[in-house]
């Protein structure tokens, strides 16, 4: 390759970086979710500075943050592409948009669980302050609680997909919000071993279920199914893993 060819290629490389930067700027300016993800990522990275993460833990954290941002950018690109191809409502176009949004949701859930596993550690507990409940929670491996929430959401979505012709987060059998609320209440009881604490946690979970019914989003049987799924899965996983 001659010196002239090298000089000729340099503007192309610079222009490529310029196009990439414009794409990032466009996503930040036009997509609210992208701005939320970026702000959250900055806050998480600042918090990580106080927790003495190892190089491997920090690398994992950066990777999951990048995964969320990349899926959000690809989601924006796919929506623009679909809108460019057709302005009419088309079932396949809707499926493409739903798949793109689903990838962002899944990446976000994985990022939250990864952050939980990295941040729930001795330094975090010291920042929160010591209490009986926190000390009891600290005795349990953090990956167990993360596995509970992931499985509760995953199984609830799987059941909803099988039961409903047009599944959606809002409405349908079972109530995912209620399942997660009762799973958290069950974990609080297991960690605290206090009936009084469990009653308070159960009351909060029941308020979530009541809110779903009052809003007309779920029926009584749908929230009961969610409560049973959340409670049963939590008890089973803690029984097997702890």
| Annotated catalytic residue 72 | yes
Residue 242, Cβ neighbours under 10 Å: how many?
Answer: 10
Please compute Rg for the chain using Cα positions: 23
- Rounded Cα distance between 105 and 109, Å, is 6
Marked catalytic residue, from 72, 126, 139, 170: 72
Residues noted as catalytic: 72
């Amino acid at each position: 390759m001659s010196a002239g060819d090298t000089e000729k290629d340099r503007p192309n490389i610079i222009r490529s970086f310029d196009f990439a930067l414009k794409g990032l700027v466009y996503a930040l300016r036009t997509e609210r979710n992208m701005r939320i993800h970026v702000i959250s990522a900055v806050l998480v990275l600042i918090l990580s500075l106080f927790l003495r993460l190892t190089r491997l833990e920090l690398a994992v954290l950066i990777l999951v943050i990048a995964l969320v941002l990349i899926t959000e950018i690809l989601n924006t690109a796919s929506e623009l592409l679909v809108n460019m191809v057709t302005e009419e409502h088309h079932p396949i176009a809707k499926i493409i948009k739903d798949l793109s949004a689903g990838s962002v949701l899944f990446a976000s859930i994985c990022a939250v669980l990864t952050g939980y596993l990295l941040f729930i550690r001795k330094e975090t507990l010291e920042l929160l302050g010591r209490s009986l409940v926190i000390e009891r929670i600290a005795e349990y491996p953090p990956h167990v609680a993360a596995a509970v929430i992931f499985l509760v959401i995953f199984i609830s979505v799987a059941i909803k997909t099988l039961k409903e012709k047009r599944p959606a987060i809002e409405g349908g059998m079972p109530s995912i919000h209620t399942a997660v609320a009762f799973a958290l209440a069950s974990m609080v009881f297991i960690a605290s071993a206090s009936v009084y604490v469990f009653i308070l946690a159960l009351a909060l979970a029941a308020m979530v279920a009541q809110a779903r019914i009052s809003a007309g989003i779920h029926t009584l049987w749908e929230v009961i199914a969610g409560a049973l799924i959340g409670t049963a899965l939590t008890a089973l996983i803690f029984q097997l893993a702890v």
